[in-house]
Amino acid sequence: SGLNMDSLSIHCSWMVLLIVLSVGLPFVDADAVAWNYNRNSLGGPDKWSVKYPDCGGVMQSPISISTEDALYDPKLSYFNLTNYNMTSGVKMTLVNKGGHTAEVVYSGSDVLLSGGNLPDTYKLEQFHFHWGGKDSNGSEHLIDGKYFPMELHLVHYSSHLPNISVAQNHPFGLAVLGFLFQVSDKNNTKFDQLLQYFDLIETV
């Protein structure tokens, strides 16, 4: 039946921050292929490279993070977030992407991401969500083999490139911040305005 996003109370009780950089591989039109994130499926991540050789690298999603193997790098610096708290002059448009996800396209003054050992300054283009049909299984990425109910991606492109279409074909042209969500019994009213549009999403 899928997850009813209108009735689901979500808050970010803790977040894990990921940086995913494009490596110059072309994007594939999600609406034109029969792929999915189900690891037990014939169209799952392990099979993507059979039909799409560009997906056979080691820098694509989904990423499974092992906390046992992860090493702290003291050379990593903090991120610099510019205009992330801006509320005036901002326009956000919800886009139903093929009936299977929600993407919000941003327009307004530049919202910038830098630091964090990124090679450039990046401009916010859009944000979108990944969720599943069960409260425990919806995120794109995993931690210690565990999926999370939902994942938010803030997609940025290099400020030295004209647009995201050009940037996605450049090494390190994109920077994506990923946030993993937990389900809570406590309602977060900050999501209400956005969630009212989620009934338009036909499948997840």
Catalytic residue numbers read 100
For the chain, what is the total number of helices (H) and then of strands (E)?
3, 11
Of the candidates 155, 59, 54, 167, the residue with the CA atom closest to the CA atom of residue 104: 155
What whole-number distance in Å separates Cα of residue 120 and Cα of residue 61? 22
- Contact between 22 and 171 under an 8 Å Cβ cutoff? The reply is yes
Q: What is the CA radius of gyration of the chain?
A: 17
CA dist 75 → 36, 116, 129, 169 (Å):
36, 9, 30, 28
Tokens linked to 7: 């009735």
Tokens linked to 85: 């708290």
What whole-number distance in Å separates Cα of residue 148 and Cα of residue 163? 31
CA dist 111 → 57, 77, 94, 144 (Å):
30, 19, 18, 32
